[in-house]
Amino acid sequence: MATRLLYLAAFFLFRLPLSFSEGDASSMESVPDLQKQMYTVLEGYPCVRLLNLSGEIGCANPGRDKVVAPIVRFSNSTRLTWPSAVVLSVDEMEGFFKRVSNDLDFAQNVGGVLVESVSSSQKILGLSPDQKFPQAKFSPYQNISYEWNPLGAGIMWNSYQFPVFLLSVSSSLSVQKLSASNEKREKAYTAHVAEFDLVMQTTKSGTRDSQSCIEEQTCLPLGGYSVWSSLPPMNASQSDQSKGVILAVASMDSASFFRDKSLGAESSVSGLIALLVAVDALSHVDGLANSSRQLVFLFLTGEAWGYLGSRRFLHELDLHSDSVSGLNETSIEMVLEVGSVGKGLNQGAKKFYAHTARASSVINETLNALKQAGDSLDSNQITISPASTANPGIPPSSLMAFLRKQNSQTPGVILEDFDTAFTNNFYHSHLDDLSNINASSVADAATIIARTLYVLASGKNLSNSALGTVNVNESLVQELMGCLLSCEPGLSCALVKSYISPSTACPSHYAGVLLGEPSSTPYPSDVDDTSRFLWNFLADKTSIWRQNVSSACSGNCTNEGEVCIKAETDKKGVCVISTTRYVPAYSTRLKFESGSWKVLPPNSSDPMGMADPVWTESNWDLIGLRAYTVQDSMYDHFVLLVGVSITVLAYVAIVTTRTFITKALKRD
């Protein structure tokens, strides 16, 4: 009975300020029902706190408590007089965050930020939160003021002492209604507020750089697992690689202002898909086992954060670790990197550019192979041109790690869809999504890469008819785009599920953090969905198994040179002969020892390591975002005053009445 009375009291207490409808009130039968009416849970993607050896970037609550602030719509004329939850459209992001950095009085009253999703009718000309020369400190040349990314605003590299969320489409509509309601009820006694729960452990513990947070174990290093594979498989018993290696490289990770909304369709995934499709095409070509060079495919993660994947790969080569067994740096004759290739269309024609580093006979051979591959295509509207000699050097890419490695002389070529500056107006933005690339451009790039690698592997000029046997599966391009760049079907697509059991449907290509001890044979739970899919896909495509099928497996295979693919699927996995391996990707300045991470002192023989900021991501307990209605404190004070007044008046009335009655009874 007491519980019911308390519930009824709570209901009547909140009914007025929350303005429940009669239907809402009649449908509530429990406290959880009441909570659903009181709170609107908002779906969003957070900007989180990242750290390096110098300090912090990103977003977080300023202290240990949740942030509660009234929701207001931002405009250039907005003046905040108290902490507020500011609602922005995407095209207002750059101006707002620049104002925050330049106007401290304004910044002090920003309680939190809610960024709306882009509507289908909204046209955004460009937004890049990265710098104009991304990761310039790792450049192998001196001209770091060059603008590869002209639209770069640099706002993702600042530290913000307030939470920021990118709202989902449905939550954007909800917040728009709440902010409009607040504007209409400016002098009312109630207001709609947003409650931000984005408390980072590094904020709570005061460990505000990578060195201190690693020591206190309140953060984890950025990184994950890169994947490499050879075609055909290497001889497992061969102690050294007798053939020269052509190393084809692509990046699998991207970055954005918002952790879990980093698709990187053009900036990295277009090249990833093109190289995957090229691998598939080459897997159907006969005679590669007798070629004069060995093809090796390397898919790197962590490249957006100090080229973690490529630097660690080269470090593992120096260590001759198990993760690169069968490879050595001296056998790598050339690096062919596939960069941004999703926007090659230009007024109906397709244009690609070859950026080169370190002139050599192999570079000339590669340029000739690219031209031969382009000429072999049926269309005469595809051109492959050398990049402008006016460029200061190669664009930001994994090849920089190879060029800056001490005593390394490995030449390289990068295939891009731009010459002197990015054509991608959304570089490292959450807007770099499926709509930002063209499947036809990716498919043509895949064909060019596959045929170029075929020419380089054979070591001789091939006729157009011979190159015509190397054809890409254009439907695979579309399928991979749907799997890796959208939520529908996303990682729940049939292709991905034929190899792994994904943990989520919506893909994100943020590098993430390295879980557990780095290993060449990590537990599947320590490897993200994209890396596990790539490992299985490559092991399948580069394997020998249709003629030499081994026993079913659920983990390791017993025969030398075999790996177990598709072990996560409902069906049992299959052991196949393949040289496909994981390579841990994390800072060369970090070491995992006795169950924890340690920061190593800089090594003067590693120039990129000297520049390494050692990126880490703060731990957190829970991230949440919701909205609800509160009463103004002045109204609460007024209600208290009225209540006290009524109580006093009631007491006076009771005393007066009692006195009057007593006197009346005595007279009687």
How far the first Cα of the chain sits from its last, in Å, is 45
3-class DSSP assignment, residue 338: strand
What does the pLDDT look like over 411-423, one tens digit per residue? 999 999 999 999 9
Which residue is listed with tokens 């006795």? 594
What does the pLDDT look like over 381-408, one tens digit per residue? 889 999 999 999 999 999 999 999 877 8
Question: Which contiguous run of DSSP H or E holds residue 382?
Answer: strand 382-386
Does residue 547 have a pLDDT over 90? no
Amino acid (one-letter) located at 408 = S
159-163, 345-349, 425-429, 494-498, range with the lowest pLDDT: 345-349
Question: Which contiguous run of DSSP H or E holds residue 224?
Answer: strand 224-231
Bridge partners (DSSP) of residue 580 are 229
Which residue is listed with tokens 């300045």? 589
**Closest alpha carbon to 314 in 232, 303, 304:** 303
What does the pLDDT look like over 81-134, one tens digit per residue? 889 999 999 999 999 999 999 999 999 999 999 999 997 668 899 999 999 999
Bridge partners (DSSP) of residue 510 are 254
- Report the alpha-carbon distance of residue 191 to residue 193 in Å, rounded: 6
**Model pLDDT, residue 316:** 96
Statement: the pTM of the whole predicted model exceeds 0.85: yes
Percent of all residues in the chain with a pLDDT value above 70, rounded to a whole number: 90
Bridge partners (DSSP) of residue 534 are none
On whether the CB atoms of residues 311 and 589 are closer than 8 A, the answer is no
- Report the alpha-carbon distance of residue 99 to residue 273 in Å, rounded: 38
Bridge partners (DSSP) of residue 562 are 577
Question: Which contiguous run of DSSP H or E holds residue 15?
Answer: helix 2-18
Residue 352 DSSP symbol: E
What does the pLDDT look like over 564-621, one tens digit per residue? 999 998 778 999 999 999 999 999 999 999 999 999 999 888 888 899 999 999 999 9
- Report the alpha-carbon distance of residue 261 to residue 212 in Å, rounded: 28
Contacts of 487 (CB under 8 A, 6+ apart): 505, 506, 507
**Model pLDDT, residue 18:** 43
The two three-digit tokens of residue 615, written as one number: 């990126």
